[in-house]
Chain A
Amino acid sequence: KAGVTQTPRYLIKTRGQQVTLSCSPISGHRSVSWYQQTPGQGLQFLFEYFSETQRNKGNFPGRFSGRQFSNSRSEMNVSTLELGDSALYLCASSPRQGGANTGELFFGEGSRLTVL
């Protein structure tokens, strides 16, 4: 069974630009979450999508947005990049079924973003 796939794996942008990251969840998983990981702050929750709807949102500015498609694939976008946005962005899928919380998150390898 293929794991969570994230693209691109590495990217370099300059301040003010925007970036789109992609995530393909494990087949059959309908929940996709996004996390930002930095050395100082650790893993911080960005948002979670289920059935193409954002269900939960973390404490990030509106420059961070996302969406989910009917095939459960998800994208996140960061506009007007700042130096502090440099981080590893991790996508995680979960076999969530409706309201049931199965708990387990399966993480992709991440997209490492460097903002210059």
Chain B
Amino acid sequence: QKEVEQNSGPLSVPEGAIASLNCTYSDRGSQSFFWYRQYSGKSPELIMSIYSNGDKEDGRFTAQLNKASQYVSLLIRDSQPSDSATYLCAVNVSGTYKYIFGTGTRLKVLA
């Protein structure tokens, strides 16, 4: 069974700090990786996608991918209370339109 693992948290950070969210995956053939944010009672929404090793930045968000270590991370700079949500890591199963989601990390940004 291909798996995606995340620390469930909660991860608590003070407002303005950097939040670091981590994800490991088991399928070495995976090529596409995604971070979704899910507010309580809402559906997931995509915030970042990454396909190549290294860093990808979008505003306050940076996704990092290391395929050799099978590791994906999301950094949120200048964290705001509005960033408080559950962050889901998703990995595409190579050659399919199937995505494996981690169980999510709950982030709490303290004002």
With known contacts A103-B32, A103-B34, A103-B92, A43–B44 Cβ distance under 8 A:
yes
Cβ of A67 within 8 Å of any chain B Cβ, yes or no, is no
Q: Indicate with 1 or 0, residue by residue over B79-111, a CB within 8 angstroms of chain A CB atoms.
A: 000000000101011001111111110000000
In whole angstroms, what is the CA distance A109 to B39 when docked?
A: 11
Majority DSSP secondary structure for residues of A touching B = strand
How many residues on chain B are close to A (CB under 8 Å)?
A: 24
Give residues of chain A (68-104) contacting chain B, Cβ–Cβ below 8 Å. Answer: 90, 94, 96, 101, 103-104
Size category of the binding interface on chain A: 20 to 34
In whole angstroms, what is the CA distance A33 to B93 when docked?
A: 14
User: Which residues of B are interface residues toward A (Cβ below 8 A)?
Assistant: 1, 32, 34, 36, 42-46, 49, 51, 88, 90, 92-93, 96-104
Closest 4 CB pairs of A and B: A42-B103, A43-B101, A107-B43, A56-B98
User: Which residues of A are interface residues toward B (Cβ below 8 A)?
Assistant: 31, 33, 35, 41-45, 48, 50, 55-56, 58-59, 90, 94, 96, 101, 103-110
